[in-house]
Amino acid sequence: MHNFIKFWGTRGSCSVSGHEYVHFGGNTPCLEINYHNSRVIIDAGTGIHMLGKQLLHETVDEIHLFIGHTHWDHLIGFPFFAPIYHSDAQIHIWTPPSPGRPCKDLFDDLLSPEFFPVRLSQIQGQARIDFHTAHPNMPVTFGDLKIEFHLACHPSTTYCFKITTPHQTIGYVTDNEMLQHYHGPLDNVPPDILEPHVSLIQFLSDCDLLVHEAQYTPEEYVKRAGWGHSSYRNAVALLLQTKTPQWIVTHHDPDHSDKDLHKMHLATKELLKETGSPCTVEWAHDGLVLKLK
């Protein structure tokens, strides 16, 4: 199958396992975008392990891997991504600017002897791996795919992504704290609270589909404001501003069981209904595939 996105990991912060996580899964973030002859991967969480095993059975000339930010949950699967150990693999790794240190050094730290038995230099002796810096206002194009970047509200330099095909525009935002420290009603958000997010709202306003986190309940967010993640109530505020017709929720909290996430899904659907929004919402699970036009 061609022209699709697939969620190989939808869990935030750390991976989880157990009977209470069977439906939504426990792998940390990894998204595959397959469109015509172009393949793009966003994030190298634990979900990239199974994707890598699949790629070994396919003919892939080049792989472009984008890292939204270098927190562990988005990077920890990289040493277990099978194509990096194959001499016929050409892998391009794209990262945000890293203040003070090249991102290649961070990968070298991840693969230091204290943490992993294979060094980056040894891997680069097998696969062809190149590092690139991605910049806002500088889109990257692969065939019919265009990838754009915008800073998120999250500790460390963190990117949101916008993927554009000739027929659709998809926003992908795993780590973003919408309306920081706000716990009030959605119909009267103070301008000073909304103002820091205006640029991102404009960036995402042409999306046909928005993948955006909603890691906390409103009650949880009271104690976790400033951690870099949104409550589902504040995420709804973003959807109201962008008027995006379809919302997929990802980056689920590791403490939320299947039962918890089903409750949050129902509460979010009710909240959208209360606000008069026609937006549909679905909670992503590991293995979810959405066909692209």
pLDDT 10s digits, 219-228:
999 999 999 9
Task: Spell out the domain ranges in the chain.
Answer: 4-291
In angstroms, the CA 29 to CA 227 distance is 18
In this prediction, residue 145 carries a pLDDT of 95
Average pLDDT, the chain: 94
The answer to whether 139 and 147 are in contact (CB under 8 A) is yes
> Does the pLDDT at position 58 exceed 90?
no
In this prediction, residue 106 carries a pLDDT of 86
pLDDT 10s digits, 125-161:
788 999 999 999 899 999 999 999 999 999 989 999 9
> Does the pLDDT at position 99 exceed 90?
no
97-106, 186-195, 246-255: which is most confident: 246-255
Angle between helices 232-242 and 258-274 (to 10 degrees): 40
The answer to whether 204 and 239 are in contact (CB under 8 A) is no
In this prediction, residue 96 carries a pLDDT of 93
In this prediction, residue 1 carries a pLDDT of 63
pLDDT 10s digits, 59-87:
767 899 999 999 999 999 999 999 999 88
Question: Which residues touch 37 (CB under 8 Å, ≥6 apart)?
Answer: 143
Domain 4-291 top-level CATH class: alpha beta
